[in-house]
A and B are shown apart, each in its own frame.
Chain A
Amino acid sequence: MPTVSMTVNGSHVTKEVEGRTLLVDFLRQQLSLTGTHVGCDTSQCGACVVHLNGKSVKSCTLLACQAEGAEVTTIEGLASDGELHPMQAAFKEHHALQCGFCTPGMIMSAVDLLQNNASPSETEIREWLEGNFCRCTGYHNIVKAVQAASQGS
């Protein structure tokens, strides 16, 4: 079995995997990082979004082996010193979640947006979040939260 090494939320990990092991399964099952969700498993919904070397990707459509040597950040890696990340705080403040299933992927995707575009317009936010589905909120408060986080940052 192949061995993979990567840095996940700042910690170095080395594990044996199968070639076919998906990054999301590696995170959830081998590292017990269950904040990253699996919604569709068909690269549509974005519940599984994590950062690979700083860029948002769908971890259900990436092999763990492809992340060899990479820096991976999951939703568990955003808060620091007991303080929510500004995007997490904005989601809380603006009631940008109901059931919360889409939230980890939404937040990871939105954080990547602000890295590319510090003050996006409403249209740019909605276009960027095209790959993140929410079945509860109607997106309205999610967009408000991202706007708030961008103004605040």
Chain B
Amino acid sequence: MYNFNYHRPLSVDEAVALAGGAPEGRLLAGGQTLIPTLKQRLANPTDLIDLGEIAELKQLSTEADGGTLVVGAMCSHASVAASDMVRAAIPALAHLADGIGDAQVRNLGTIGGSIANNDPAADYPAALVGLGASVRSNHREIAAEEFFTGMFETALEPAEVISSVAFPVPSKAGYAKFANPASRYAIVGVFVSQGGDGVRVAVTGAGPSVFRVPAMEQALASNFSADALEGIAVDAGALNADLHASAEYRAHLVGVMAKRAVAAAG
């Protein structure tokens, strides 16, 4: 690992100022992706701005009479999984967080770091798009679908700090993933929800970035049951293929995981 200047700001404003003053710097959240990247010398930031001491980023709360769940960017996967508030509002979100990596990764890894990284196989992007969430930063609010722009790419600007994610609370939601047996990353993960905005089906792991499946959403809108998805095929053309799964197998898994997610939503 190359060396860098380490900073430990106590507020978002201070973090934004430090990031603005270090164009080649990087924000550090749980470090579960960034530290391995630095070890491999795939990045060489001049400065690391550690968000770990910023209390305002660790909050979990509800807004709009419980209609919105707000998860602070520095909430660890373990804290989301264990939160009574999350379990009561969106149990599928707690379940998703509980299935990320392993216990030690969940103790350090954060929602903000996961979505800023936008790994094509990460779990959280499916929840954000599958629930119609929005990402709040130090200066704006971005709808999830506009936030995830491509493989490892997001709409974040330089020196922009994610502060929280606001999830509309659905009437039903479910998440099912076919996990890589070694890392637990999603080979395919599907998040479904039914709420005020209708039905959403979001897929992670299968393509370069999270995507929705309109044909499934339409079928579930008239009949929210696993049977309604029978025969709806996903085109393998644009899907990922690697040593874990071919594009055709991933396309098949999207159908299977979508049915399981609907069944889990109840």
A18: chain B residues within 8 A (beta carbon): 3
Q: Is B152 an interface residue when CB atoms closer than 8 A count as contact?
A: no
Which segment, of B31-39, B156-164, B243-251, faces chain A?
B31-39
A55 closest partner in B (C-beta): B107
Q: How large is the interface on A (under 10, 10 to 19, 20 to 34, 35 or more residues)?
A: 20 to 34
Select one of B8, B38, B82, B107 contacting A57, CB under 8 A: B107
Instruction: Determine if A63 and B104 form an interchain contact, defined as CB atoms under 8 angstroms apart.
Output: no
Q: How far is the CB of A41 from chain B (nearest CB, A)?
A: 7
B78: chain A residues within 8 A (beta carbon): 55
Count of inter-chain pairs, beta carbons less than 8 A: 74
Instruction: Determine if A20 and B38 form an interchain contact, defined as CB atoms under 8 angstroms apart.
Output: yes
Task: Mark each residue of chain A from 110 to 128: 1 if its CB lies under 8 Å from any CB of chain B, else 0.
Answer: 0011001000000000001
Q: A61-B108, A65-B50, A68-B8 are in contact. Are A130 and B184 (CB under 8 A)?
A: yes
B31: chain A residues within 8 A (beta carbon): 61-63, 66
Instruction: Determine if A56 and B103 form an interchain contact, defined as CB atoms under 8 angstroms apart.
Output: yes
Q: Which of B2, B38, B52, B104 has the most CB of A within 10 A?
A: B104
Q: Is B128 an interface residue when CB atoms closer than 8 A count as contact?
A: no
Q: How far is the CB of B98 from chain A (nearest CB, A)?
A: 10
A68: chain B residues within 8 A (beta carbon): 8
B28: chain A residues within 8 A (beta carbon): 63, 66
Q: Is B205 an interface residue when CB atoms closer than 8 A count as contact?
A: no
Task: Mark each residue of chain B from 1 to 26: 1 if its CB lies under 8 Å from any CB of chain A, else 0.
Answer: 11111101000000000000000000
Q: Is A37 an interface residue when CB atoms closer than 8 A count as contact?
A: no
List B232-265 residues whose CB lies under 8 Å from chain A: none
Q: When chains A and B are docked, how far (Å) is the Cα of A47 from the Cα of B78?
A: 20
Q: How large is the interface on B (under 10, 10 to 19, 20 to 34, 35 or more residues)?
A: 20 to 34
Instruction: Determine if A20 and B1 form an interchain contact, defined as CB atoms under 8 angstroms apart.
Output: yes
Q: How far is the CB of A42 from chain B (nearest CB, A)?
A: 6
Q: How far is the CB of A152 from chain B (nearest CB, A)?
A: 22
B52: chain A residues within 8 A (beta carbon): 66
Instruction: Determine if A112 and B6 form an interchain contact, defined as CB atoms under 8 angstroms apart.
Output: no
Q: When chains A and B are docked, how far (Å) is the Cα of A68 from the Cα of B4?
A: 17
Instruction: Determine if A131 and B3 form an interchain contact, defined as CB atoms under 8 angstroms apart.
Output: no
Instruction: Determine if B3 and A49 form an interchain contact, defined as CB atoms under 8 angstroms apart.
Output: no
Residues of A that sit less than 8 Å from B by CB: 2, 18-20, 22, 41-44, 46, 49, 52, 55-58, 61-63, 65-66, 68, 109, 112-113, 116, 128, 130-132
Residues of B that sit less than 8 Å from A by CB: 1-6, 8, 28, 31-32, 35-36, 38-39, 48, 50, 52, 78, 82, 101-105, 107-108, 182-184
7 additional contacts (CB under 8 A) given A61-B31, A113-B103: A44-B182, A44-B183, A52-B107, A56-B104, A63-B31, A65-B8, A131-B104
Top 7 A-B residue pairs of the complex, sorted by shortest distance between their CB atoms: A131-B102, A19-B6, A130-B102, A20-B1, A55-B107, A65-B6, A58-B104
